[in-house]
């Protein structure tokens, strides 16, 4: 019987698994951890949770729903993909051949080593401007990063925040500010964050202390492009090339959710998961 293997148990991977299993396709989900939901304290903008829901609780609910429907869930780290008689997902200890494989590995949100960054996550330190800009209305915010992703986050914040500064951490900016932009660029390194209950200030490498209400980490968006390259799917920089059904350039291989770029939100991840699964079901029925 033809089967599906999904890497990642976030909203994208679990939604795809739910559609596939309910279509009668044996489905395995392999995941390492909670992904982005593990870093999310309160989700305020996803349908159906009037009291909000925490990321970890949403994650556990998704996992439980998939298990109830019969999805095989395995906690392990995927280290590669290979071509055997069919595409095969490799962990350190096992191999999982799949007639269709879905990458749902999320965006690798790279966090630079800055003292205090981890401890202030969710209390002034954020990884998602579109999620959290609302909390920093008319306040001073900073973005860390030197690429287009950092500029994108800064532009989202500049609609509501009082000031927005992009700290490129010693690197040259790899973007151009649009004309008349009020976003400030500072190339100095941030070495430490100060604040007890919440972020209060940034300490720069020349000793300057800058009062700050919010700090958004936007250091590159890597994804499952490394896996894709291993099996010969086309990538465009760090991003896998996909079509409107989240299909990569290889038949039977899909990339969904944050790892395929675009809006990094749960609603989009769920949409991708459903769309790719519906396509994969037809693909399996016709091959």
Ligand X SMILES: Cc1cc2nc3c(=O)[nH]c(=O)nc-3n(C[C@H](O)[C@H](O)[C@H](O)COP(=O)(O)OP(=O)(O)OC[C@H]3O[C@@H](n4cnc5c(N)ncnc54)[C@H](O)[C@@H]3O)c2cc1C
Q: What whole-number distance in Å separates Cα of residue 33 and Cα of residue 9?
A: 8
Q: What whole-number distance in Å separates Cα of residue 200 and Cα of residue 209?
A: 10
Q: Which stretch binds ligand X (CB under 6 A): 127-135, 175-183, 195-203, 208-216?
A: 127-135
Give yes or no for residue 177 binding ligand X (CB under 6 A).
no
Q: What whole-number distance in Å separates Cα of residue 42 and Cα of residue 172?
A: 34
What is the x/- site pattern for ligand X, positions 69-98, by CB under 6 A?
--------xx--------------------
Nearest-approach distance from CB 116 to ligand X, in angstroms: 16
Based on CB atoms, which residue is closest to ligand X, 238 or 264?
264
What is the x/- site pattern for ligand X, positions 263-282, by CB under 6 A?
-xxxx-x-------------
Buried b (16+ CB within 10 A) or exposed e, 118-133: eebbeebbbbbbebbb
Give yes or no for residue 257 binding ligand X (CB under 6 A).
yes
How is 135-179 classified by DSSP, letter by letter? GGTTSEEEEE-SSHHHHHHHHHHHTT-SEEEEE-TTSPPSS-PPT
Report yes or no: 190 and 202 within 8 Å, Cβ to Cβ. yes
Q: Which stretch binds ligand X (CB under 6 A): 63-71, 103-111, 176-184, 195-203?
A: 103-111
Based on CB atoms, which residue is closest to ligand X, 109 or 185?
109
Give yes or no for residue 258 binding ligand X (CB under 6 A).
yes
Q: Which stretch binds ligand X (CB under 6 A): 5-13, 160-168, 198-206, 238-246?
A: 5-13
Based on CB atoms, which residue is closest to ligand X, 185 or 242?
242
Cβ-Cβ contacts under 8 Å for 94 (sequence gap 6 or more): 76
Q: What whole-number distance in Å separates Cα of residue 11 and Cα of residue 76?
A: 18
Give yes or no for residue 228 binding ligand X (CB under 6 A).
no
What is the chain's length? Answer: 287
Which spans of this chain sit near ligand X (rule: CB under 6 A)? 7-13, 30-33, 35-37, 39-40, 43-46, 77-78, 104-106, 109, 126-128, 131, 257-259, 264-267, 269
């Amino acid at each position: 019987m033809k089967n599906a293997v999904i890497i990642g148990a976030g909203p994208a991977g679990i939604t795809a698994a739910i559609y596939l299993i309910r279509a009668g396709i044996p489905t395995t989900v392999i995941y390492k951890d909670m992904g982005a939901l593990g870093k999310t304290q309160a989700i305020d903008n996803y349908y159906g949770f009037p009291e909000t829901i925490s990321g970890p609780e949403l994650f556990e609910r998704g996992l439980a729903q998939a298990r109830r429907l019969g999805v095989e869930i395995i906690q392990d780290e995927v280290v590669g993909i290979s071509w055997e008689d069919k595409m095969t997902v490799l962990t350190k200890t096992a191999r999982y051949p799949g007639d269709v494989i879905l990458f749902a590995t999320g965006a690798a949100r790279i966090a630079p080593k800055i003292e205090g960054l981890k401890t202030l996550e969710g209390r002034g330190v954020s990884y998602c401007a579109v999620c959290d800009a609302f909390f920093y209305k008319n306040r001073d915010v900073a973005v860390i990063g030197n690429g287009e992703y950092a500029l994108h986050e800064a532009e989202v914040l500049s609609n509501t925040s009082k000031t927005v500064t992009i700290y490129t951490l010693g690197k040259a900016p790899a973007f151009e500010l649009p004309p008349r932009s009020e976003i400030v660029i500072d190339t100095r390194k941030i070495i430490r964050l100060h604040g007890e209950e919440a972020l209060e200030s940034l300490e720069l490498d020349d000793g300057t202390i800058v009062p700050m209400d919010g700090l958004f980490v936007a250091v590159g968006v890597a994804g499952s492009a490394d896996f894709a390259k291993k099996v010969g799917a086309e990538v465009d920089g760090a991003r896998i090339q996909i079509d409107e059904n989240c299909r990569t350039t290889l038949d039977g291989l899909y990339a969904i959710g944050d790892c395929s770029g675009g809006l990094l939100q749960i609603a989009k991840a769920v949409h991708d998961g459903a769309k790719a699964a519906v396509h994969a079901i037809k693909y399996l029925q016709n091959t």
